[in-house]
Amino acid sequence: MSINNPYNYSLPNNFVIKNKFENKQDVSQLNTANVKKSNNKFDQYKEQAIMTAPPEELTYMLYDGIVKFLKKAKIYMEQKDFEGINDSLKRAQDIITELNITLNMDYEISKNLRSLYDFMLRRLIDANIKKESSIVDEVLDLAVDLRDTWKEAVKLAKKES
């Protein structure tokens, strides 16, 4: 039995991972047609891992990305690095937005996920405005739960296959 993936997405053929913390360029401003291949071996490895991953693994990677960026935001809050806080929270918001817009609304769970993602986005905007770690913790807990639940669902689906 395969998992019913509630997401409809695929990556463009020329997709390249950019580390926002290296060049501070907003991912939403990237034109994928103009992005050059990275010479960094690690970036090439990450790109290859994403390009060859099944959709279920991509979803897990996205959830893991949210967790990573929220943890970075908390560290930046401790350091009072406002640019780092903003960048990290925006990256988490970008991932949540991607998950939200790619939902396949043919599944009942998608409606619940859409509500949850909207809530998470609103809270991250609040966290960015107020610079409150407790709000980030609230969203981080949800993201960890989503990631871990997704990982277990994929494991169960693989066992049943």
Domains of the chain as residue ranges with CATH: 20-160 (1.20.120.340)
Of 33, 38, 34, give the one whose Cα is nearest residue 18: 38
pTM over 0.85: no
Residue 12 pLDDT > 70, yes or no?
A: no
**148: three-class secondary structure by DSSP:** helix
What pLDDT score does 42 carry?
73
Instruction: Name the phi and psi angles at 3, rounded to 5.
Output: -80, 140
The residue ranking higher by pLDDT, 3 or 75, is 75
Average pLDDT over residues 59-83: 96
* Residue 146, number of CB atoms within 10 A of its CB: 22
What pLDDT score does 131 carry?
96
| CB 59 within 8 Å of CB 10 | no
CA separation for the pair 110, 146 (Å, rounded): 13
What pLDDT score does 8 carry?
67
CA separation for the pair 51, 116 (Å, rounded): 27
pLDDT confidence bin for 143, thresholds 50/70/90:
very high
